[in-house]
Amino acid sequence: MKINPVTLPVKDRFALPDGMIYLDGNSLGPLPRHVDGILSSMVTDQWGKHLIKGWNQDDWMGQPMRVGNRIGRLVGAPRDSITLGDTLSIKVFQALASALHMRPERTVILSDSGNFPSDLYMAEGLIKHLDKGHELRLVSPEAVESSLSDDVAVVMLTQVDYRSGRMHDMQKITQLAQQAGAVMIWDLAHSAGAVPVDLASSGCEFAVGCTYKYLNGGPGAPAFVYVRPDLIPNLSPVLSGWLGHAAPFAFETSYRPAADIERMRVGTPPVLQLTALEAAMDVWDDMDMLALREASIHLQEVFIAEVEASCPELVLASPRNFAERGSQVSFAFEHGYAAMQALIAQDVIGDFRAPNIMRFGFTPLYIDEEDVRRSVEILADIVNNRLWDNPEFKKTRRVT
Ligand SMILES: *Cc1c(COP(=O)(O)O)cnc(C)c1O
């Protein structure tokens, strides 16, 4: 597709509340303005009037593949190599189980200590369930390359660290993992829609990712899974649900996987969520990921310089070299939780990750340099004047 890049930001595409500076698109993307209308007409006209006919008439059944192809453009995936459904934890499980199947003689799943806990927990659960002596080996992010021994079946990494924003070199690690005979799985939760990704040229076997973060699909939007096209025909799906069957409506008593990526589907797709996500993907139609990346780095650099100049107590917890960061910047601060609550109370929204990390996501779609400077002014006021030191900001909530 030929793209005429737009000028960033494109704030008018989003329904952000007046006065809010939203630095948390890495956790939950905001509502694209037009999604509301599309979603409510889907509910009223499709669900309301077509009822079950909608599966054919409105092609609800084709949504996972349709939306998968639109995500594919952003992450460099060939056509029909991505499908959607379920949560990211489930897609991690599916990819990992299929990957282990490809290396029956090896027992180690290699990951790093910065990986998101759910990915690690899913690996632990799968290992226990398989009961074949597999081991989850965690090393520091810097030690992944030197830990590629010949017992490693699968390397499973999240490209951009959810806490620090540190970014792995996807091309290089994939190549080294494959040279060592391992299967490569990338989790793109903090990459898709944030940084340019080229799955096809990386050659990795599997990738999974999130759509409610940088892709703005809304809370609970389903995850995606990518399988390298040449592997699909022999891929063995462990969650063998009826919608991954070659002929779901033949209602055979025994499972036969679909010939294509649809074999990674499990059950009924979340149509309302996929409708919201499909509409949200319109935001990306004229977006050039290299231009977006450049704008993101600029915002991050301004933020780091301003925070370091005005908040001496905060310590950068992200790589200083922008090439090693995704689209977020983290600072460590002893009173980070309370400071973040104080910041949120002034409508600058970031988030907190235990034990002491204040996390800020930079999405050039709706953040500009003026927002960055303003947010640092407020942050500096909170930190330097101890405005965080207030019992109201120290109450722990269920979601941080
Ligand atoms: C956000 C995130 C998840 C969340 O998984 P869900 O099952 O969708 O809740 C998992 N892994 C990583 C790396 C994430 O960043």
Question: Domain for residue 400, yes or no?
Answer: no
CB 310 within 8 A of CB 376: yes
Question: Domain for residue 86, yes or no?
Answer: yes
Summarize pLDDT for 164-186 with one digit per residue, the tens. 999 999 999 999 999 999 999 99
What CA–CA distance (Å, rounded) separates 352 from 400?
6
Co-location of 63 and 139 in the same domain: yes
Co-location of 187 and 302 in the same domain: no
Q: How far is the CA of 248 from the centre of ligand 1 (A)?
A: 29
Helix locations, the chain, DSSP H = 35-41, 54-57, 63-75, 88-102, 117-130, 170-179, 199-202, 271-280, 289-310, 336-345, 369-384
What CA–CA distance (Å, rounded) separates 136 from 152?
10
CB 329 within 8 A of CB 304: yes
Helix locations, 76-198, DSSP H = 88-102, 117-130, 170-179
Per-residue pLDDT, 3: 60
Summarize pLDDT for 9-45 with one digit per residue, the tens. 999 999 999 999 999 999 999 999 999 999 999 999 9
The domain that holds 226 is classified in CATH as 3.40.640.10
Distances (CA, A) of 160 to 18, 145, 168, 197, 237: 30, 16, 7, 11, 27
Indicate if 397 belongs to the active site: no
Number of domains in the chain: 2
Co-location of 99 and 227 in the same domain: yes
Indicate if 212 belongs to the active site: yes
Co-location of 250 and 301 in the same domain: no
Residues whose CB is less than 8 angstroms from the CB of residue 310 and which lie 6 or more positions away in sequence, other chains included? 376, 377, 379, 380, 384
- For the chain, give the percent of residues with pLDDT over 90: 97
Distances (CA, A) of 111 to 15, 121, 123: 38, 12, 10
Determine the structural domain holding residue 226 and report its residue range.
38-284
Question: Domain for residue 367, yes or no?
Answer: yes
**Mean pLDDT over residues 323-339, rounded?**
98
Ligand 1 neighbours by CB, cut-off 6 Å:
87-89, 116, 118-119, 158, 162, 187, 189-190, 210, 223
Summarize pLDDT for 181-221 with one digit per residue, the tens. 999 999 999 999 999 999 999 999 999 999 999 999 999 99
Question: Domain for residue 2, yes or no?
Answer: no
User: Is the pLDDT assigned to residue 341 strictly greater than 90?
Assistant: yes
Co-location of 203 and 307 in the same domain: no
DSSP 177-209: HHHTT-EEEEE-TTTTTTS---HHHHT-SEEEE
Co-location of 267 and 342 in the same domain: no
Which atom, in ligand 1's list, is nearest to the CA of 162? 15
Question: Domain for residue 3, yes or no?
Answer: no
Per-residue pLDDT, 398: 84
Listed residues 221, 252, 284: the one ending a domain? 284
Widest CA span in the chain: 69
Question: Which among 331, 313, 315, 316 has a CA at the least distance from the CA of 389?
Answer: 313
Question: Domain for residue 125, yes or no?
Answer: yes
Looking at residue 76, the DSSP 8-state letter turns out to be: T
Question: Which among 207, 194, 174 has a CA at the least distance from the CA of 77?
Answer: 207
Question: Domain for residue 179, yes or no?
Answer: yes
Indicate if 116 belongs to the active site: yes
Q: Which two tokens stand for residue 378?
A: 């407020």
**Mean pLDDT over residues 382-397, rounded?**
94
Per-residue pLDDT, 30: 98
User: Is the pLDDT assigned to residue 4 strictly greater than 70?
Assistant: no
Q: Predicted confidence band at 2 (pLDDT cuts at 50, 70, 90)? A: low
Indicate if 187 belongs to the active site: yes
Residue 272 is which amino acid?
L
Q: Say what the pTM is.
A: 0.97
What CA–CA distance (Å, rounded) separates 179 from 248?
39
Co-location of 302 and 244 in the same domain: no
Co-location of 138 and 93 in the same domain: yes
- For the chain, give the percent of residues with pLDDT over 70: 99
Co-location of 158 and 301 in the same domain: no
Per-residue pLDDT, 5: 65
Residue 86 is which amino acid?
D
Question: Which among 123, 180, 175 has a CA at the least distance from the CA of 147?
Answer: 180
Summarize pLDDT for 72-129 with one digit per residue, the tens. 999 999 999 999 999 999 999 999 999 999 999 999 999 999 999 999 999 999 999 9
Q: How far is the CA of 11 from the centre of ligand 1 (A)?
A: 26
Listed residues 227, 260, 284: the one ending a domain? 284
Co-location of 214 and 323 in the same domain: no
CB 88 within 8 A of CB 134: no
The domain that holds 26 is classified in CATH as 3.90.1150.10
Q: Predicted confidence band at 397 (pLDDT cuts at 50, 70, 90)? A: confident
Co-location of 302 and 243 in the same domain: no
Listed residues 251, 268, 284: the one ending a domain? 284
**Mean pLDDT over residues 306-318, rounded?**
98
Which atom, in ligand 1's list, is nearest to the CA of 90? 7
Co-location of 183 and 256 in the same domain: yes
Q: Predicted confidence band at 396 (pLDDT cuts at 50, 70, 90)? A: confident
Per-residue pLDDT, 400: 79
Residue 313 is which amino acid?
E
